[in-house]
Amino acid sequence: MDQCADCGFNYDLSQSAAAGWSICERVAEVVTILHARDCNVRSRRQPDVWSPLEYGCHLRDMLLVQRERVLAARRMDRPNCPPSGRDERAVHDGYAEQEPKDVARQLADAAQMFSNVLVRLSADDWDRKLSTTTHKPANDHCGGSQHTPCMRHNTTCSTFAARSDQAA
């Protein structure tokens, strides 16, 4: 296990080669949930907890954000990536009003697009740096600060998000 010096997040670098596959595998589980006819994917268990549909939208958008960050880190030295606007996206993009079958398709596409980028990374690419500014929600493992993770950390955070969102 390795640890981000800036935020303390632990991640396993030996798993980086399987990150794309792991993300697609986890996303397939979420897609199955979004297609389920025996549950209301629009329903929130609690008012402050996103529904499965909202989590699917969030996961789709974060995979696309992370994909763009990885591509930027390959093009530029230490690109400064703006905040993703996680919480604002839910309202601005109308997560709760989207069609589950559309979100399921888009989520699978986003996972495949991100995976496609990840499989093309060389060992040196995985060590490239990027700067991100994070906000600190209660469950944010990266804290609320400016820090410069390598792409391994950034991608592992995406895998972590896929696991967390799918389980929620």
Taking alpha carbons only, the member of 34, 35, 52 closest to residue 44 is 52
Highest mean pLDDT: which range of 67-71, 124-128, 146-150: 67-71
Segment among 6-20, 35-49, 56-70, 133-147 with least mean pLDDT: 133-147
Q: Which of 35-39, 110-114, 117-121 has the highest mean pLDDT?
A: 110-114
Which of the two residues, 89 and 144, has the higher pLDDT score?
89
Q: Give the pLDDT of residue 154.
A: 54
1-21: average pLDDT: 78
Q: Give the containing element (helix H, strand E) for 152.
A: helix 151-167
Of 135 and 107, the one with more pLDDT: 107
Fold of 2-167: Four Helix Bundle (Hemerythrin (Met), subunit A) (1.20.120)
Pairing of the two strands 146-147 and 131-133: antiparallel
